[in-house]
Structure 1
Amino acid sequence: MIQASISAVPGLIVSFLILAALVAAPTALVAKARSKPWPLRTALAVYLVGIAAVTLLPGDAGLESWQCDTGMPTRLFTSVSSLLNIALFAPGALLAVFLFRRPVTVAAAFGALSGALELAQSAGHLGRSCSVTDLAANATGALLGSSAGALWIYLRRQSPGKPLRDLAWGMSLGALAVLAVGGVFESRIDRVDIVARDDQKRALAETAVQADEWITAAARGVFGSDTQVRQTATATASVTEPDEGGCRLRITATTNHGTISGSWPAKTLESARSSDVRADEGSLGAREVAAAAARLAREWFPQHAAGSVQRVRPVGHGPTTVYRVTYRRYAHGVLMPMRLDLTLTGTGRVLGFAAETVADPVLPPVTVDEAEAKALAQGAAGAPGEFRRALLLARQVRGVWRPVWLVGDGSGGRASGRDVAVDAVTGERIAGEISGAATPTAATGGPPSSR
């Protein structure tokens, strides 16, 4: 509050001095006329003016009218702003205890004053910020100041003013203030959690540094130890799985050997592409490339490699052959949605990869076999033709994971417009878009048992 006020309210000190002069003189004159000690009363009046100036003078910051930051005050004793707010209210409460010698009532009164000021900041078009954290800090300051005043009374062996009445009045005033302020907050205030928003920004800043370190290590692991990261870019990624929680970053690194991207803090690599896509002349065969891909997968794609089937497909002939290495996982003969596709040269150099990290879904048992699926697809197509290819895979149908037969003519070993999707549990044809698995190719193949 104090930090924001100094920067947000032009002429705060000048305004305070003018208001203090306007209040101090009448307070001193009234005290003298009533034969009361005037210095302490004047000091308390001036201090209250200071609190009002800091909290209520119009500024150029703050939330919208009738909004309040209701985030929990998690850094009440570590935040500079909160400590300044505590310091704002503690001296005023101490002066009031010196004057009235009723510490409980003073603590309740200053707590109620804090609630009233925060509500005024929220209700008025003052350009100020209502905050539960400020309210808690102010109330803490009032409690500390009142406690210090009570200790001072005890050490000086002065009797407090009617302690039982002080206790009754203080508890009643405190309860009334809590009910009144809480009622207004509950019925009228639009809650905004700026504390959580600031914590998220701070966490993102901290995690971005860690993400940079991780993607740098991954780039060197994929492209080689001489890889130098030239630039990294981060973006907030949407959370798609209900158990992921929190915020994810998608980070992309541009290096002297290519680009690589992944997700943080899950530490899952998503794609990479070498800047040099020419095939190297190498002596490694399919078996050696498969072993090199397996080492890479175990280190950087353990969730893809575990329980998966590796297949290697050479592209081209001779020493410039390029190898496509795929990882697929099957559960009860159903192709799971995760995928990992690696492209390596005959020297073992990685030209690129594409990975999709999806947890294996829990599926209902399959009741429709391949022959039935082909017959159902033929009937659904309503046209002559031979459906030679059938692949059983997990797909999302209207947001729910299902085992699906994807039946087609097998032209080119790739999904085509004539493919028919059949629910492997009900036998019903699935119309429209389905999602959740990689497009099948000839390299995907079937489960190990169908080789």
Structure 2
Amino acid sequence: MIEASLSAVPGLVVSVLVLAVLTAAPTALVAKATGRPWPLRTALAVYLAGILAVTLLPGHAGLQPWQCDTGAPAHLFTSASSLLNVALFAPGALLAVLLFPRPVTVAAAFATLSAAVELAQSAGIPGRSCSVTDLAANGTGALLGSLLGALWLHLRRRPPGRPLRDLVGGTSLAVLAALLVGGVFASRIDRVDVVAMDEHRRDLAQSAVQADEWITTVAEGVFGSGTRVRETASATQGRRLRITATTNRGTVTGIWPAKTLESARSSTVRGDEGSLDTSDVAAAAARFAHRWFPQNVKGSRQRVRCTGDGPTRVCAVAYRRYVDEVMMPMRLDLAVSASGRVLGFTARTVDDPVLARVTVDVAEAEALAKAPAGSTGTSAVLLAARVRGAWRPVWLVGGGGRHVTIDAATGERVAGTA
């Protein structure tokens, strides 16, 4: 809290001095007017004003409104930040006990003040952050200050006033504050773990270096020797990195740390001149696929479709896997030239889901979709698709760009498939 205040609050020292003057003068005047000793009261008032200035003046850091950091650092009470927060509340509690000889009540009051400060910071003070660690450190400071005050009173042979009343009052205040603060935290505060977030960012930074090394090796393997990576770009997807390498020969994209490739595109998309026939192209595609996509190729069916004629033709090679005649969500599509060079690919590496048993045949699916079997332009494909977040066997029935999805296990029309 204090470290953040010193670095994030502009003119903090000036603000504290101004508040000290504005607080000290009226406190001293009121104390003198009522015939009470003014130095200790003035010191406590000034110190409380300083606490509020340090903790509540707007700054330039902080979480979102109504968030609170609940992460605990590795050195909770030994870090410089925690020790500073302990030191922030201890002197004030000490002064309060010397002025009001009720240490239990003072400790509870200062702990309540700390909780109120953290809630105020969470409520949206610009550049301020609620922190459970700060709350614990401030409460510890309040307790230490109160104990020091009680020890001072004991040494000066000034026993606390009404010890039983102090104990009951302080305990009641602490319980009431805990219930109120706990209720607000449970109902209003969004908990975030900044420590875990920082560790996650460090892990991502380290992972990004490893991902760069991996995608560079992949690019050289996909496009051949002499490939030079010009730049890499990555985007986080949860705990994964989607990384793209741009080279002098094309681009390639993959997922780290799963080490699965998604796509690649050669900068030269026109087919190389070659003399390979369809079977030779299929063999070249198979060698490439087995090297880079063994999980996709296993148990899959290969289909080759070539366009164009002569030595510059390009062939599309598709791999699909079927379980009980249901097309699985895995996808692998390659573009291969007549010279056997892979010009690009797109891949979707997904484990085969466990599906419900298919009970609707193609004729029933077309009837349910109101697309009679044998009608022109109508097709039906049985595949696995996500329906409301779960994998289901579905019939995709339609033609002319319009399709109807039928659940192949229940016969119901469904929407929102993927």
Which TM-score applies when normalising by structure 1? 0.69
Deviates more, 1:342-351 or 1:398-407: 398-407
Q: How far is 1:274 from its partner?
A: 0.7
Q: What do residues 95-147 of structure 1 show as CA deviations (whole Å, max 9, x unaligned)? A: 55677676544432211111233345566x86463514343442243345556
Q: What do residues 242-299 of structure 1 show as CA deviations (whole Å, max 9, x unaligned)? A: xxxx4554332211121122344544322110112243456873465145224323xx
Distance 1:172 1:423 in 2: 62
Question: Helix, strand or coil: the match of 1:13?
Answer: helix
Aligned to 2:288: 293
**Contact 1:323/1:344 (8 A) holds in 2:** yes
Of 343, 347, 366 in structure 1, the residue corresponding to residue 358 of structure 2 is: 366
Cα distance change, pair 358–116 in 1 and its aligned pair in 2 (3 A): same
Q: State percent identity of aligned pairs.
A: 60
**Contact 2:274/2:337 (8 A) holds in 1:** yes
Of 385, 392, 397 in structure 1, the residue corresponding to residue 382 of structure 2 is: 392
Aligned to 1:380: 371
Question: Helix, strand or coil: the match of 1:381?
Answer: coil
Unaligned runs of 5+ in 2: none
Aligned to 1:240: none
Q: How far is 1:340 from its partner?
A: 0.6
Of 281, 301, 315 in structure 2, the residue corresponding to residue 309 of structure 1 is: 301
Of 347, 361, 374 in structure 2, the residue corresponding to residue 355 of structure 1 is: 347
**Contact 1:368/1:426 (8 A) holds in 2:** yes
Cα distance change, pair 273–84 in 1 and its aligned pair in 2 (3 A): farther
Cα distance change, pair 267–57 in 1 and its aligned pair in 2 (3 A): same
Distance 1:216 1:158 in 2: 76
Q: How far is 1:211 from its partner?
A: 4.0
Q: How far is 1:51 from its partner?
A: 0.7
Q: Where do residues 135-154 of structure 1 align in structure 2 (5 Å cutoff)?
A: 135-146=135-146
Amino acid across the alignment from 1:202? R
Deviates more, 1:335-344 or 1:372-381: 372-381
Cα distance change, pair 157–326 in 1 and its aligned pair in 2 (3 A): farther
Deviates more, 1:252-261 or 1:125-134: 125-134
Q: 1:55 and 2:72 equivalent? A: no
**Contact 1:68/1:130 (8 A) holds in 2:** no
Amino acid across the alignment from 1:199? M
Distance 2:99 2:377 in 1: 99
Aligned to 2:67: 69
Q: Where do residues 260-299 of structure 1 align in structure 2 (5 Å cutoff)?
A: 260-281=252-273, 285-286=280-281, 288-297=283-292
Unaligned runs of 5+ in 1: 238-245, 409-414, 437-451
Q: How far is 1:322 from its partner?
A: 4.7
Aligned to 1:326: 318
Q: Note the aligned Cα RMSD (angstroms).
A: 4.7
Distance 1:424 1:165 in 2: 75
Aligned to 2:20: 20
Cα distance change, pair 340–147 in 1 and its aligned pair in 2 (3 A): farther
**Contact 2:326/2:383 (8 A) holds in 1:** yes
Distance 1:160 1:312 in 2: 95
Distance 1:193 1:384 in 2: 58
Question: Helix, strand or coil: the match of 1:272?
Answer: strand
